[in-house]
Each structure stands twice: as C-alpha cells, then as structure tokens.
Chain A
C-alpha cells in the first residue's frame, strides 16, 4: 500500500492547527490536517469565552504576551478576509476597592510594556456611562479599546475552509496512535490509516503531551485539563453588557466574565476547575451556581432566567504558564504548538505567523501559490441568509428556491443554508456540524423546533436513513426507529 507523502502534517484542527493550515495554504506545499474529532474545532476551540484579549494579562517578556498583542492586532484583518464575525468591542476590568485599583494599575503598566494600545483607567462615572448595568459598587475600570470578540469555531471553520479550498487535505476521526520516522519522513498512523510528511506540527491541544510522547519526547511541563463552564443568555438580554466585562483578577484567576457575543447573545463564565478527564465537558449544578454568583458581582440585575443553554469546555493549561511553540530539540522538523490556553484564540493569527517562521528556519521552502484563493471558498465568503441584504436574498431565492424555506426560525436559517453547509469545502453531515456552520438550532429554542427538520434535510441530501442521522459523535443517532 502506498502512503501519501506530504510536506507538512498538522495534528489537530483546533484554532492553532487551523491557523497553521491557513498560513501554509498560501504556498506551494502539500499539507494534511489530521483531526481526532469528527469536525474542525472539536476540542477546546469549540467551547471557550470567544474573547480576543487585548494582552495586558500575560507577564512581560513571555511568548504569550508577545503573541497575544500581535494576534489581537491581526484578528480584524483575518476576520475580514474570511467573512468571520468579529467586533472590536473593547474590554473593561472592573475594580471595587483601593486594592483592586492598585492591581488595575499594575495590569495597565504590564499592558503598556506588552504594547497594548489605548489602555486607560477610568472612574466610576465613565464606567457607568459605558456600562449602565454594572454594579454601583464598582469604582474603577481598566479600559482596553483594542480587545474584541469573535466566534472561535467560525474562525476555525473559515481558516480550514480556506485551506481546503487551496488544496489542503483533511482527515477526520484520525486518532494518531503512532509516529515512526523513515527515510526523511514522519509516518503518522491512526491504527488503520497512515500518512507521511517531512514536517509535523503538533497542535493537538489537550493531547500535545501524548503526541510528543509518540516521538519519545517529554515536554518541559505538564498539561492540566481545566474545565470552564458557561451560561449563554437569550438575545433579548443583549443590553446586559456592550463590552467584555472582567473583575479584577485575584489569586484564583481571571474570574467570571460577562460579554456580548458576535451573534448577539450574552455569554457568562467561566469557572476553572481541574478535571480528571480531558474529555469531561459536563456541566455541574455547583459550577453553574459559581458562575451565577460571579456574574451578579459584575451586573447584579443580570437575568440568568434567560439562559438558553449551558455548556463547558476543557482548556489545556501548561504548568509552565506560557505558550510553548518551538521545534523539537530531539526530532528535526517536528514542531510543538503546545500549552495554548487562554488567550490562545486572541493569539491565533500571531501563532500562525510564528509557526511559519519556525518552519522557514527549519528549512521548509516557501514559494507563493499563483492560484491562491484568499476567501473561504471559490465562490467567496458565502453568506448565510440572515447575513444577506434584501437584494442578495431575492437573488439567492431566485437561484435556489430552498433559500425561501426557513428551517430554524430563531436564527432565520434556510434550507438553502443547510444544503450549502453540507457541500462546503469541509462538508457537514451531522446536526451539530450544521448547527455550528449555520447557527441552525442555536437560538432561543435551542433546536426544539428545527433539530428533527435539520435531520430530515441531512437524510435526503446525504442519502442516509433518517434514523441514522447523528447529532455529533458516531453513536449519537437522533432518532431510534421508524414506526410507520
């Protein structure tokens, strides 16, 4: 059996793997992305705060500080190029006491060293003008106008779709179990399948340590799985906050935040609890109570009854506290992108640049593609119905009448959008894959109305029996059996 040879194999299609694939797609290279999950953004990228941090948190001189500030600066351009929703809404770190003020000043000084633009400490009057619902006990805030929000999985999809459009191959459910080295190539296996590549990028998120272990290496730190739980509020609550609101960090960490999302919801969370399993994304009653308490310190009137869903994500926290992005000392042309916890999303665009530089230094030859397509797909950054102008809607329906059939009424997603998602460069074939690409089922009814309808569209478009349509994982059939 011949094994396909690639220039670069990227292990992991989370935000770090996705940005690397996006960067490499500009050049004449054969690249493959190997993802253990069923889809792009199956791990930490799927469930986090969706914040583009300004960069005043990370200690001066760390790689984290450098990449965070640079990533925050680049994010707007990347988002615009790929048609990803992004908003530079700015963030406020809120202080209540003199002690907090001291800490805010420290953060501001740190931010300035890191190169964060526009930082300011504001008084309670200005704070309450900017955020009328913030607690009356709040006295000060650190205002960071460069901070923003972006949808993490949408960004990851866009990056990967662009890479796929430019020829990058993707293998899903490719659970790397062994890596050999032979004749200048790494041979990456998942038990059944194999690929070989001259360069390997280890962007396996929570599993970077295990991948490193496969080439006989121990990373100079441990990866601790820390779970963060969240509550997502209905769009009707958007006036709760118009900037990302943090409390002054304490020994316990950054604390609970309240932020608008690019889709018009309010996100509340996260806590940070060490968990036994890297896959434990369950929410707990205690966790939700913790978040509720934290949120009420910031906005006492927050309407948590308007919670439409709760969820949790697991972060890959390195015991060293910093990002670790470098070529392996032991294995040539094997690059670790490890310890990417918060602000990994904000840093992503800079991580891409940084990895590219390392590859160059390791001898990877980069010649630009002449036929590079800068958008998500050949057709451009295809819009969803709800994003279209009136004229575009009329046009879309003329071309394909299925755009006139609304499937998800909360988010105004049409059958045309679903069909498009099914056939995009990285195809969607489960309910959750469609949900994250189109927002169908993400509104206030959380798919009560449309879930079965989405399943019907998948069933007919992918030609699989309705009872075989999955929610997400391979054993997650939505329905049980046909009765008539």
Chain B
C-alpha cells in the first residue's frame, strides 16, 4: 500500500496564493513542521516564475517588482521559515476525509491525511476548442501562457513571424516579448471593437513596438499541413458575428491565442465541494472556506483575478482562518447570510457569510457583466438600499470591492440574504454589454 503521512495543513499549489497563505499560517502561529506545500513544477512560485515583466507586489511589498522577483521573495520566506514543500509532485485526488493522493519523486505514490487543506491550484487557459477556428491542425499553434513559458523559462522561440489573437494583458505582454527576442508579430487581432487589456499595455506592449492592433477582427482559419503556414483573418461585426467574405490570408509560422482563464479545480470533484457556475471556483464564506469544513481555497482557484494584490489579501485571510479552524474544529456558525448577484453583477465572492458571534469586517469582491461609464454600486436588503457608492466607469475585467464594515454589518442585522447591484447613473451611456460570458 501507499505511504501515509499526517499533516495539519496541506497547501496545494505554490503560486502567490499558496505561498502567501503558507507564510500567513506561520504568522498566525501554525508550526512550519505541521505544514506541507505541494507543487507540480520543479520550482515553487507558480506562474510568477514565467512573468518576467514588472507590475507585481504593490500592496504586499509596497513597491512594484517583476513576477520572478516576487516569486523569489516569497520562496525565500518559505525557506527561512523551513516550511516543507515538495516539487515535481502532483495531486491526483482529494476526498471528503481530507485524504490527498500525491505522486512525488520524494514520497512515491502516497496518501497525505490533512486536518485542513488550502486549495491554491490557480487556473488554466481555455483551449482553442472554445474558439472553433476552422482549418487544419498543424504545429506552431500555442496558447499565450504556453508561449510565455517556452520563451521565458525554456529559452525557445515558437516562431519568427507570429499572429496573435486576443488582446488581453497576457497576449499583449507575450507579443512584446516575442519582438524583444527578435521575432516579428504581424498583428494582434481582437474580435471585440476595443482592446481587452489595459491602456497602459496597449501603449507599452503594442504601440511602442509598432505591433498593429486590429480590433473587430478574428482569426477564422488555420492553414498548413506540417507547420502552420498562414491564417485567415476576418472582420467581426458589432454582435460578434464573423462577416463572411472578408477573410484575408496572412502568412505566419506561428499563431498565439488567448481566450481566457478558468479556475483549475479538477482534483476536488470527489470532495463534495460545491462549485459556483459563475466563477467556476468553490462557493466560499468570508474566510474562503468551502462547504466542506476545513477545506479552504484562495487565488485563481476561487475566481480569475485581475491583480495579484487581491490574491495576496485573500491568502492572508485564509492563513488566519486556518489557524482558527485548527484551534476550534467543532465551531459552527450561528447563521448564514447569502450574497446574491443583482442586476449587472457577474459574480460576487464570498457567496455567503457565516456568522459566528458577530459579523466581522470582511471584503466582498465582485465583477460587473459589461463595460459601463457611470455605475452606482448598492447593497440591498429586502429591496431596501443599505449601502451605496459611486463607482464611475467599470468593466468586467476589473474587480470591485465592498468593505463590509461594522456599520454595514449593523444594517444587515439578521437578514438571511443581501443583494449586490450595480445601476447606471442617467448620464452614463452603456458602452458594451457583451462581457457576460467572459471568464
């Protein structure tokens, strides 16, 4: 039979969520020797290790660093505290009894019995299957994340003449990277009428490197038998439909696409953890605890984040919540407040608040379902507005925050449910409402 190991806290995944959570567990008094981090790559740090661009750590470090710098700072912290981690190790399954099956060069095929688990597996990229591009299936077609790893970690180029589909931040950063490595990016196509990424990235990654951005254009066909030889690019109308007969052939030897990220929660299907169809992550309370007591989750496994800063915030909350759970496992909430998504709200996290003695200060994160110019965010209880804040312009790509303060808690009182809403102020014309099924 396989080896059995006992641990108080097992953290699955060593990206920013897993590492910050581990550090936070220690700060809250959990012994490093009671903890184990499981990582499937050869190094801890997760996706940060391939993010050699700057823009990380603002809230955590009070300075902006590159992804790799943040990864090494966090990893150093883990090593200093002597928190055990195993690399090249993959979790095969997790069950209700908090038994984790792992294959690892160190332990072989083993079972770890954990008192509490933190799911910090991050996310994965959606595949080209979701795009349903016609044509052949040659070599030279990559997702943006795969290219980032190939170029930044492995030191290989995917091609010398690349067409990019998708204008999210990742796609733009990868386009720039290819140019910096001596490649040529023929163009970046975006089916929407505007770029998805930040204005800053449009300037710094595309404009400054003379990479053309074609909005309202999509790649509709891939050509080539062995290696990709060309793609066809077609015009897309305002409703997102491809305009037939507009296809133009563009020669290239590589094609990179970005079509969104999905939380990676495949390993928990035997745990009975309930997933939210909107976020594709687990239903959580304000401590990021799932419906299985003692199993927590944070980072992109909960929902796709726009900023690592929010991941850090969550992971710190989880660190203290794990400690509290270990100290008092039988503690049961007195009541539950459901958080419902009202008009224009794509999702909100946490999905409910567990009230123990009192409603403690916490944050409700939310996203809206489109791109708006002038929004008013409200919280309603029985149809009555108990909180409102002007948000101005906002799109589904950014996270909104509502601080659940003592004052708001009092207004919530003993309500069983509250509703988060976003309404447009009169002068704010809606720009686009098609973000619904984005991420």
Spell out A's residues near B (CB within 8 Å). Answer: 232, 279, 281-285, 287-288, 305, 307-311, 390-391, 393-394, 397-398, 401, 403-406, 409-410, 412, 414, 444-446, 448-449, 451-452, 456, 466-467, 470-484
Closest 8 CB pairs of A and B: A475-B226, A471-B139, A476-B226, A406-B90, A484-B155, A473-B226, A476-B139, A308-B129
CB pair B158–A480 under 8 Å, yes or no, is: yes
A-B contact pairs, 28 of them (CB 8 A): A282-B136, A285-B132, A288-B134, A307-B132, A309-B128, A310-B129, A311-B137, A390-B2, A393-B2, A394-B108, A397-B108, A404-B89, A405-B103, A444-B127, A444-B266, A446-B127, A446-B129, A448-B124, A448-B127, A448-B142, A449-B146, A471-B139, A472-B226, A475-B225, A479-B157, A480-B157, A483-B155, A484-B155
CB pair B134–A448 under 8 Å, yes or no, is: no
What 12 additional pairs, Cβ within 8 angstroms, besides A281-B136, A393-B109, A483-B155?
A285-B132, A404-B104, A404-B105, A405-B88, A444-B127, A449-B146, A451-B146, A452-B150, A475-B227, A481-B156, A483-B151, A483-B181
Give the residues in chain B near A451, CB-CB below 8 Å.
Answer: 146
For the complex, what is the distance from the CA of A40 to the CA of B130, rounded to whole Å? 29
B197 interface contact, C-beta 8 A: no
For the complex, what is the distance from the CA of A188 to the CA of B267, rounded to whole Å? 52
Q: Is the interface of B mostly helix, strand, loop or mixed?
A: mixed
**Chain B: minimal CB distance from A349 (Å):** 30
Give the residues in chain B near A482, CB-CB below 8 Å.
Answer: 155-157
Give the residues in chain A near B134, CB-CB below 8 Å.
Answer: 282-285, 287-288
**Chain B: minimal CB distance from A387 (Å):** 13
Q: A397-B108, A410-B266 are in contact. Are A483 and B157 (CB under 8 A)?
A: yes
Give the residues in chain B near A282, CB-CB below 8 Å.
Answer: 134-136
Give the residues in chain B near A288, CB-CB below 8 Å.
Answer: 132, 134
For the complex, what is the distance from the CA of A313 to the CA of B179, rounded to whole Å? 37
CB pair A390–B1 under 8 Å, yes or no, is: yes
Q: Is the interface of A mostly helix, strand, loop or mixed?
A: mixed
Cβ contact of A480, chosen from B145, B159, B226, cutoff 8 A: B159
Give the residues in chain B near A476, CB-CB below 8 Å.
Answer: 138-139, 225-227
**Chain B: minimal CB distance from A443 (Å):** 9
Residue of B109, B138, B159, B225 with most chain A CB atoms under a 10 A cut-off: B109
B369 interface contact, C-beta 8 A: no
Question: Hey, what's the 0/1 contact readout for B205-233 against A, CB within 8 Å counting as 1?
Answer: 00000000000000011000111000000
B274 interface contact, C-beta 8 A: no
**Chain A: minimal CB distance from B253 (Å):** 7
**Chain B: minimal CB distance from A46 (Å):** 11
B242 interface contact, C-beta 8 A: yes
Question: From A401, which residue of chain B is reached at the shortest CB distance?
Answer: B105
B292 interface contact, C-beta 8 A: no
Cβ contact of B129, chosen from A307, A391, A473, cutoff 8 A: A307
Q: Interface residues of B toward A: which range? A: 35 or more
CB pair A394–B132 under 8 Å, yes or no, is: no
Give the residues in chain A near B2, CB-CB below 8 Å.
Answer: 390, 393-394
Question: From A286, which residue of chain B is reached at the shortest CB distance?
Answer: B134
B143 interface contact, C-beta 8 A: yes
Give the residues in chain A near B142, CB-CB below 8 Å.
Answer: 448
Give the residues in chain A near B145, CB-CB below 8 Å.
Answer: 448
B348 interface contact, C-beta 8 A: no
Question: From B88, which residue of chain A is reached at the shortest CB distance?
Answer: A405
Q: A404-B109, A476-B226 are in contact. Are A285 and B242 (CB under 8 A)?
A: yes
Question: From B160, which residue of chain A is reached at the shortest CB distance?
Answer: A480
CB pair A309–B129 under 8 Å, yes or no, is: yes
Residue of B128, B154, B254 with most chain A CB atoms under a 10 A cut-off: B154
Within residues 58 to 97 of chain B, which ones have a CB less than 8 A from any CB in chain A? 88-90, 92
For the complex, what is the distance from the CA of A87 to the CA of B253, rounded to whole Å? 41
Give the residues in chain B near A445, CB-CB below 8 Å.
Answer: 124-125, 127
Within residues 299 to 313 of chain B, which ones have a CB less than 8 A from any CB in chain A? none
For the complex, what is the distance from the CA of A414 to the CA of B157, rounded to whole Å? 26
Give the residues in chain A near B221, CB-CB below 8 Å.
Answer: 285
B391 interface contact, C-beta 8 A: no
Within residues 348 to 395 of chain B, which ones have a CB less than 8 A from any CB in chain A? none
Q: A452-B149, A476-B138, A483-B151 are in contact. Are A404 and B226 (CB under 8 A)?
A: no
Give the residues in chain A near B176, CB-CB below 8 Å.
Answer: none
B40 interface contact, C-beta 8 A: yes
Give the residues in chain A near B150, CB-CB below 8 Å.
Answer: 452, 479
CB pair B130–A305 under 8 Å, yes or no, is: yes
Question: Hey, what's the 0/1 contact readout for B30-43 against A, CB within 8 Å counting as 1?
Answer: 00000000001000
Within residues 96 to 121 of chain B, which ones have a CB less than 8 A from any CB in chain A? 103-105, 108-109
For the complex, what is the distance from the CA of A452 to the CA of B88, rounded to whole Å? 16
For the complex, what is the distance from the CA of A448 to the CA of B220, rounded to whole Å? 20
For the complex, what is the distance from the CA of A484 to the CA of B150, rounded to whole Å? 11
CB pair B129–A467 under 8 Å, yes or no, is: no
Within residues 178 to 209 of chain B, which ones have a CB less than 8 A from any CB in chain A? 181-182
**Chain B: minimal CB distance from A466 (Å):** 7
Residue of B129, B136, B158 with most chain A CB atoms under a 10 A cut-off: B129
Cβ contact of B130, chosen from A307, A311, A404, A466, cutoff 8 A: A307
Give the residues in chain B near A456, CB-CB below 8 Å.
Answer: 154
**Chain A: minimal CB distance from B348 (Å):** 23
